[in-house]
Amino acid sequence: MRRHVLTAAMAAWILIGAAGVVSAQPLTVPEVSRDQVICFALYTVHDGVLKLTAQLYPLEPGEDRVIRLEFEDAGQWREAARAEVVEAGWTAPFRIAPWDASRDVAYRVAHGTSAFYSGTIRRDPVDKDEIVVAAFTGNSIHPQHGGDIPKTDIVENIKRLRPDLLFFSGDQVYDHAQHYAAWLKFGRDFGEIIKDTPTITIPDDHDVGQSNLWGAGGKASQFEAGHDGGYFRPVEYVNEVQRAQTSHLPDPYDPTPVERGITVYYTALTWGRVSFAIIEDRKWKSGPQGLVPQLGPRPDHINDPDYDPSVVDVPGATLLGGRQIAFLRAWTRDWTDADMKAVLSQTIFCGGAHLHGKRDNRLVADLDSNGWPQRERNRALAEIRKSFSVMIAGDQHLGTIVHHGIEGWNDAGYSFCVPSIANLYLRWWAPLKPGRNRAPGMPEHTGEFKDGLGNRITVWAVANPSPEENHDLLTTRAAGFGVVRFHKKTREITFECWPRSVDVTAPEARQYPGWPKTIRQEDNYAAKPYGYLPELAYPAGSDPVLELTREADGELVYALRLTGSAYRPKVFAPGTYTVTLDDGRERHTMRGLSPAALHKEIHSST
């Protein structure tokens, strides 16, 4: 095979990479026949809009730069739209509205007279009792980490599971200079399942060509490691990555670019009556270098066991940024066509490991997680719990289930960090002391802890790599993928964590220890109640949305779609409250409601 001729801009980016960090194995863009020029396609459907992005191999000089999208109708292919190919990255984005999501529709992307790529736009599974999400992270391409092992085991398992939605949380590309070539390889590996399933892909640090990412609102970073905050690669490179990976997502909540014209993609997707907030948890995050004292070998690693976590929780440090907090607040109140909610992010809101890279490298704290800055972490969790959302993420290379706490343990949401597809950089959860308040029979590394940044967390499950030297690049490195099942009737959520190289349908197949685990939706805001408001009655089957507002300051306490025919809202402080019930036809507001303090109720009943 020979390399394709690259555009001048692409060649410049590769030269920039050559001066810094390059791939351990140079990647090639294979020469393909003209009937194979369409590599793969990604799509989502939301609120009556279909968005699909076709990913192409390079087109030859003189070839048509227009791609067609066709749908099958009564056995005939009918053209629905055309799109100009964006040569920087060779993508073709389509947007079709209105879209009827009530039925499966066969589609094909066409170029010229001989190149066709086919798949199915799935119907919105609004009538299914269980919505299944398959989640992935960390797609290492390096042979020493198992990155060259074919992904056929994952692809075959996804075909068996037939999930309703795929979520790739980041590091789809582990190459710091050749995103395009590695992205094509990602498409060749996973296109067989992506073409027929709505798919969310969001880029993380390695996708945009740097070791770690503190986006700092889009400013320029001077270092490939990224510790000073911002993006190291040129704006054009970053935007090409984001266009390839996110242009098929629903339109951004606010499309205004950040500094230097770097685009944004944070948005919401409702599918199967589950609403997913898709956030960019690193685009506005502050870089630690120069902002906090360096307490370890590098700006983001702390290895002084006697340090005070408050010294790094500095005023002015940012995590999600004001724009995304505003988005989460609006999304929390919007339950249109949704019964349950979830937040999808690049990483989790705590430090999720102790040993980094190798078994003798113990860190006290790692600032490259959403556990820092702590007050911003708490601010984000306080917003997320108002919608009783579970959180799904990756990046940590280590599968975990964590129940987060803010003021106390377990008063915020659960997170599921899925394991890496192929584990580039090993991490272990290995506390020096047993966890407090463990459930009966649970191992000592579970229970209540403070992470290295002082954040309250309760660990329920960990998929640590094997303690022995790695002899199997998949199983001993704890590679795998996650599955999240939303049970809409019971309002429960089940987490599954599967190792690689197993048939998940086989009777002898076993998940990683600690999985599966099922939680209730309301466990995602499990703060101890001060008391309860009077019971609310409503017609069975109306399933109204409840909004609970604190009257002293107008702050939303939480919003939730109810089931059954009665509900008694819990509150967490004395005062008066306003409750609104809205079933889509009628809206009822009750003001001046006061809670019966819990201790008084208990006393009066004894």
91-141: pLDDT as tens digits:
999 999 999 999 999 999 999 999 999 999 999 999 999 999 999 999 988
Cβ atoms of residues 490 and 564 within 8 Å: no
* Tokens matching residue 573: 């402080």
Pick the range with the lowest mean pLDDT from 141-150, 234-243, 377-386, 394-403. 141-150
Q: How confident is the model at residue 600 (pLDDT cuts 50, 70, 90)?
A: very low
User: In angstroms, rounded to a whole number, what is the distance separating the alpha carbons of residues 54 and 37?
Assistant: 10
User: In angstroms, rounded to a whole number, what is the distance separating the alpha carbons of residues 368 and 391?
Assistant: 18
Domain boundaries defined on the chain: 8-121, 285-318+339-527, 531-604
Cβ atoms of residues 189 and 39 within 8 Å: no
Q: How confident is the model at residue 473 (pLDDT cuts 50, 70, 90)?
A: confident
Q: What is the CA radius of gyration of the chain?
A: 24
Pick the range with the lowest mean pLDDT from 121-125, 174-178, 270-274, 482-486. 174-178
Residues 540-568, buried b or exposed e (16+ Cβ, 10 A)?
Answer: eebebbbbbbbeeeeebbbbbbbbeeebe
Q: Which of 198, 211, 320 is nearest to 264 (CA)?
A: 320
In this predicted model, what pLDDT tens digit does every residue of 54-86 receive, in sequence order?
999 999 999 999 999 999 999 999 999 999 999
Do the strands 531-532 and 596-597 form a parallel or antiparallel pair, or are they unpaired? antiparallel
4 has a pLDDT exceeding 50: no
Q: What are phi and psi of 130, to 5 degrees?
A: -125, 125
Q: How confident is the model at residue 470 (pLDDT cuts 50, 70, 90)?
A: low
Segment 26-46 mean pLDDT: 94
Q: How confident is the model at residue 13 (pLDDT cuts 50, 70, 90)?
A: very low
Pick the range with the lowest mean pLDDT from 240-244, 360-364, 376-380. 360-364
CATH (one of 3.40.640.10, 2.60.40.380, 1.10.1760.20, 3.30.230.70) for 8-121 = 2.60.40.380
Note the pLDDT of residue 598. Answer: 67
Note the pLDDT of residue 467. Answer: 77
Note the pLDDT of residue 290. Answer: 94
Segment 165-183 mean pLDDT: 95
Neighbours of 125 (CB within 10 A): 18
User: In angstroms, rounded to a whole number, what is the distance separating the alpha carbons of residues 276 and 33?
Assistant: 39
Amino acid at the residue 410:
N
In this predicted model, what pLDDT tens digit does every residue of 183-235 receive, in sequence order?
999 999 999 999 999 999 999 999 999 999 999 999 999 999 999 999 999 99
User: In angstroms, rounded to a whole number, what is the distance separating the alpha carbons of residues 455 and 349?
Assistant: 9
Residue spans of beta strands (DSSP E) within 405-450: 414-417, 420-422, 427-428, 447-450
DSSP state of 454: S
**CATH architecture of the domain with range 531-604:** Sandwich (2.60)
Of residues 384 and 147, more confidently modeled: 384
Note the pLDDT of residue 602. Answer: 36
Determine the distance from the C-alpha atom of residue 234 to the mean position of all C-alpha atoms in its chain, rounded to a whole number.
25
Q: How confident is the model at residue 577 (pLDDT cuts 50, 70, 90)?
A: very high
Note the pLDDT of residue 425. Answer: 87
| Reported pTM | 0.94
Those residues whose C-beta lies under 8 Å from the C-beta of residue 384, and which sit 6 or more positions away, are 328, 343, 391, 412, 413
11 has a pLDDT exceeding 50: no
DSSP state of 123: P
Largest Cα–Cα distance of the chain, in whole Å? 86
Note the pLDDT of residue 424. Answer: 81
Q: How confident is the model at residue 2 (pLDDT cuts 50, 70, 90)?
A: very low
Cβ atoms of residues 251 and 218 within 8 Å: no
Same topology between domain 8-121 and domain 531-604: yes
User: In angstroms, rounded to a whole number, what is the distance separating the alpha carbons of residues 154 and 158?
Assistant: 6
Q: Which of 212, 191, 211, 216 is nearest to 201 (CA)?
A: 191
Summary mean pLDDT of the chain: 93
Note the pLDDT of residue 592. Answer: 97
In this predicted model, what pLDDT tens digit does every residue of 505-553 receive, in sequence order?
999 999 999 999 999 999 999 999 999 999 999 999 999 999 999 999 9
